[in-house]
Structure 1
Amino acid sequence: KPSAQVVWPIVGQEILNGDVGGGFQGIQITSGFFQLWRASGITSEFELYATAIGGLFMAALMVFAGWFHYHKAAPKLEWFQNVESMMNHHLAGLLGLGCLGWAGHQIHIALPINKLLDAGISPQEIPLPHEFLVNRELICQLYPSFSKGIIPFFTLNWSEYADFLTFKGGLNPVTGGLWLSDTAHHHLALAVLFLVAGHMYRTNWGIGHSMKEILEAHKGPFTGEGHKGMYEILTSSWHAQLAINLAMMGSLSIIVAHHMYAMPPYPYIATDYPTQLSLFTHHMWIGGFCIVGAGAHASIFMVRDYNPAKNYNNVLDRIIRHRDAIVSHLNWVCIFLGFHSFGLYIHNDTMRALGRSQDMFSDTAIQLQPVFAQWVQNIHTLAPGNTSPNSLATASYAFGGDIVSIGNKVAMMPISLGTADFMVHHIHAFTIHVTVLILVKGFLFARNSRLIPDKSNLGFRFP
């Protein structure tokens, strides 16, 4: 079992320490940190100690930077509205160089250490992390292409590096996590992508895109003035920006929740069931809160920052003008979904109570197979053979493939869909549509309604 800390023997509290295996006494954790550290190549408490001191130093630096940029040289508000420059820096600096640095760490430190750990070598006998950097002989024994240095890179003979930048697919049979060489390859590819993207927007030179021009040119046949005025809204209203960012962040968090179990990214995380459950629940809750926050801040924007005079006949104005149609459609959709999803469960309960199990909706009685979802899963199972013939397996065994078991525990197996999945997914459709109805109605009627026409003068706190 994973453990991260030991409770010291003070006033009998050491009773909290349990046997977590391997002759180690400590507290069992379900946060996934143990697996994350294993994937990063951290094998001892000393390395954690060094990491913590590094974090402490960076935090102190940031505290100083915060003080400096507030009391000594505070940026002007206009500086935050220079979005092209911001996009270039965030894409190239934050994401591009961030991915590059992480890929570098994975290739030079994490990969060799994990390869030795997977081979069953004890952490005490593995060389220290910096030795893989200073002693090239050491890493050449594990990955022979290191002996060629950077010559293959500059001669465009990149396939030489295929021993540590792989495209295998599937899971490592020793740890039940994604292949670390696959994820290193992934981060290196992302770094290249983001570093190129960081040169996409026009700043001091007359080359590149302008956000305002892109938005104003984006007109459809049914959207009137299109996105005219959107640039001004997003650069001048914090609430509008926050609403969009929260909606994106929340949606991404929910996507992450599903990817964490379908493609377990860290060693041994797939067989650590409490951690898997905790991480899924955590990311779903965070996603839900963020999306609800997006609705709230969109409404605050409508009350405080929206100017009807500046938004005539653009997409936002046109949405607000046919808000009655939108809300009434959502209304009947929610009622329809409510009856037709929950109704199936009530039917099943009634039939079970009457002892008529042959009349229930289930795989053994009346079947409701999710045929479209099964078709999609089948496509994804067969895809790697057609689109990337060199890969060993599909991206996730959830769609089909073999059972991956680690130490007599199932790490990942095909999740075949049936009647129960069809029914519960329609319940999810129902709950999500109700959430959309609540948030969208609150946003569209934030300024006024027939009952309270002057809502916008009363402020967001009303009633």
Structure 2
Amino acid sequence: MHDVYSTGGSNTAVVLSYSGLYNYLYAAGYRSCFQIYHTSLSLQLFSVLFILIGRIHVYNIEDLFAWSGGLGSRSHEWRIRLYNICFDSSGLRLNYHLGALFGLSSICWSGHLVHVSVPFSRGLDYSLTTLPDPLGLYPMFVGHWAHYTHTCLSFIGGVKSDTASLFMTDIAHHHLSLGVLLIWSCHVYSSISTGFGHRIRDIAFGNGSGSGVSLILASIHLQLSLALIGLSVITSVVAQHTYSLRPYPFLSYDYVTFTALFVHHLWISSILMMGGFAHASIFLVRDYSAATYTSTTDLILRLILNKASIISHLSWVCLFLGFHTLGLYIHNDSVVAFGEPEKQILIEPVFAQVLQCSSGKTLYGLEYVQSVSTTFDSIFLPISSGDLIAHHAIALGLHVTSLICIKGSLDARGSRIMPDKLSYGFGFSCDGPGRGGTCDISAWDAFYLAFFWMLNSSSWILYYFHWKHLTLDTNAAVFNESSSYLNGWFRDYLWFNSSSLIRGYDCLGANDISLWAWLFLAAHLCWATGFMFLISWRGYWQELVDIILFMHLRCPLLYDLWTGGYYTPIALSIVQARFIGLVHFSVGLILTYAPFVISSSS
């Protein structure tokens, strides 16, 4: 055990990384490097096997029939039809994924927790001959199922006081119940026996979206869009549960780790969601044909026909949030600047406090199980007026991002100012004022603009999360007093917590923050480089640098090395320059915030 969670065989555990991986290994029952090594090797072998098996799903049934037709014989047709039944049937594939893949895996993981993790957490050694319960399966056969709630399958709820995590027996019970439900659900869709279960097309027609199945099967971009959006939602839920309902023991004792995990998952969730909207636009431009369907059977066509009402509703929501939130911030900043902070407009989140009180928040009179030692757990955060205005600012960013993405996707096929946009494709540059101005109206331009709003919105969420938890166990009054006006965020959060990075190198030499200080500066350079491509659309700076390089290569010393046919200075197009600028800006912003979080939290 010491060789995994400590250095040099010491008896004290150490934090080797901020990934939370060791908390997961500890919860899963790993106690030696030997176990970790064999598990890693087994997973690599399984991944190679799954890649080979995944090739089966790549081949479509039409491709196989076309291949068999070239053989000049129909003797292979029955094999292809059998292949279609076993592998390419969507109902059978869903049943298999629900039952065998998700359900059986969940039950197997529950068994691992019961037989390995729970005994290890109680100080027992794992053994195939040692039962997790002294009575074995006897209580199950005689109907005394409640007996297992005390040993291996509990339903306690809440957080364990010493580890500040969910009860391991609760997690095992959850996975067992979920696995049973998923195995039951694997008979929902009809597969080999068409008389048993439901056809996917019938379910879709019953919901008024009969064309959805054929669209999904015919368009790889729509499949990718739905997959990215689904993964984005799942990743966002994981980010929220990282700090509220932690499944891994002792995770909340290390503030840097669970903050880094939240930041990591939030960025992934945001980028995946943007990718989902981008591929939805590409689907509407390249793969969708409105002439094939009617508004009564096609959900996507109904969305396109009613896009005006959808966009207008989102617009007034964004305007309401923007004017009220920014107006409050401007007013509060103004009165604080004039030395009269008592004149701020502070609105208490009464409804949220009532919900917290009914859920058992200690601050409001009721109590819940608190950790024994000092941790950074936050099932219910005490909230104030600064939280209310911060949440409304975050809502503004999320709604504006959604507005731009939805408008760009629904207008990807054509708009009032440019009805023939479909023939221009997903992304195109300005073509001047001849058409009344067609700049910034392609689906790519909407994605480009929404990406900046996504970066800003995610930054606001991270600022709020980080500062709220940073002051939770030290001085919560700092957040309550300074979060109601913008200058408080700039001064007491960003500038104050940057002091450790500023002192990464000082007159006394380097320290443990020096690496993060250099990364902070390097990421700022990457972020600032993006403006060279964003401010001048056609890559003026890139062309200038190329011309300087051209002149140096034309000097007599290097004249013989230069051939004009190899390289000619030319500016980027608008689309290319914006893409390069967006990449520099995004990478710089994300990598700038990472050392800030680690240095200010450690």
1-structure distance, mates of 2:23, 2:33: 14
Conservation of the 8 A alpha-carbon contact between 2:413 and 2:422: yes
Conservation of the 8 A alpha-carbon contact between 2:360 and 2:368: no
- Higher percent of residues as helix: 2
Which digits, 9 at most, give the CA deviation of each residue in 1:132-156, with x for residues without a partner?
x2x22xx4xxx5xx23332333344
1-structure distance, mates of 2:331, 2:252: 36
Matched with 2:476 is none
Q: Does 1:231 align with 2:231?
A: no
Q: 1:81 to 1:447 in 2, by over 3 A?
A: farther
Q: Which moved more, 1:188-197 or 1:398-407?
A: 398-407
Amino acid at match of 2:91: E
Q: Does 1:344 align with 2:328?
A: yes
Conservation of the 8 A alpha-carbon contact between 2:228 and 2:276: yes
Matched with 2:415 is 449
Q: 1:229 to 1:56 in 2, by over 3 A?
A: closer
Residue number among 322, 335, 359 corresponding to 1:380 in the alignment = 359
Unpaired runs of 5+ residues, structure 1, are 7-16, 117-125, 219-225, 383-393
2-structure distance, mates of 1:248, 1:438: 20
Matched with 1:11 is none
Which digits, 9 at most, give the CA deviation of each residue in 1:350-393, with x for residues without a partner?
111011111113xxxx4x122222233334339xxxxxxxxxxx
Map 1:295-444 onto structure 2 (within 5 A): 295-313=277-295, 314-361=298-345, 366=346, 368-381=347-360, 401-402=367-368, 404-412=370-378, 414-444=380-410
Matched with 1:154 is 141
Residue number among 248, 251, 262 corresponding to 2:230 in the alignment = 248
Amino acid at match of 1:442: G
Q: Could you say what the CA RMSD is over the residues aligned between the two structures, in angstroms?
A: 2.9
For the pair shown, the structure with the greater C-alpha radius of gyration is 2
TM-score relative to the length of structure 2? 0.62
Matched with 1:211 is 200
Conservation of the 8 A alpha-carbon contact between 2:255 and 2:376: no
Q: 1:312 to 1:331 in 2, by over 3 A?
A: same
Q: 1:21 to 1:408 in 2, by over 3 A?
A: farther
Q: 1:380 to 1:409 in 2, by over 3 A?
A: closer
Q: Does 1:102 align with 2:109?
A: yes
2-structure distance, mates of 1:235, 1:3: 50
Match of 2:312, SS state, is helix
Match of 2:154, SS state, is coil
Amino acid at match of 2:233: S
2-structure distance, mates of 1:216, 1:431: 36
Cα distance, 1:86 vs structure 2? 1.4
Q: 1:3 to 1:344 in 2, by over 3 A?
A: farther
| Higher RCO structure, 1 or 2 (CA under 8 Å, sep 6+) | 1
1-structure distance, mates of 2:416, 2:243: 47
1-structure distance, mates of 2:379, 2:91: 45
2-structure distance, mates of 1:321, 1:171: 49
Matched with 1:120 is none
Percent identical pairs in the alignment equals 34
Q: Does 1:264 align with 2:253?
A: no
Q: Does 1:49 align with 2:37?
A: yes
Q: Does 1:165 align with 2:153?
A: yes
Residue number among 175, 180, 187 corresponding to 1:199 in the alignment = 187
Map 1:83-98 onto structure 2 (within 5 A): 83-98=90-105
TM-score relative to the length of structure 1? 0.79
Cα distance, 1:411 vs structure 2? 3.6
2-structure distance, mates of 1:272, 1:446: 46
Match of 1:461, SS state, is coil
Which digits, 9 at most, give the CA deviation of each residue in 1:410-431, with x for residues without a partner?
4446312221111111011100
Q: 1:434 to 1:237 in 2, by over 3 A?
A: same
Q: 1:238 to 1:413 in 2, by over 3 A?
A: closer
Cα distance, 1:217 vs structure 2? 1.6
Matched with 2:61 is 76
Q: Which moved more, 1:276-285 or 1:229-238?
A: 229-238
Conservation of the 8 A alpha-carbon contact between 1:166 and 1:182: yes
Q: 1:4 to 1:30 in 2, by over 3 A?
A: farther
Match of 2:371, SS state, is strand
1-structure distance, mates of 2:23, 2:364: 21
Conservation of the 8 A alpha-carbon contact between 1:251 and 1:287: yes
Cα distance, 1:158 vs structure 2? 1.6
Q: 1:211 to 1:3 in 2, by over 3 A?
A: farther
Conservation of the 8 A alpha-carbon contact between 1:404 and 1:410: no
Unpaired runs of 5+ residues, structure 2, are 64-83, 430-602
Moved over 6 A (4+): 2-6, 397-400
2-structure distance, mates of 1:4, 1:150: 34
Matched with 1:390 is none
Count of matched residue pairs: 402
Conservation of the 8 A alpha-carbon contact between 2:357 and 2:364: no
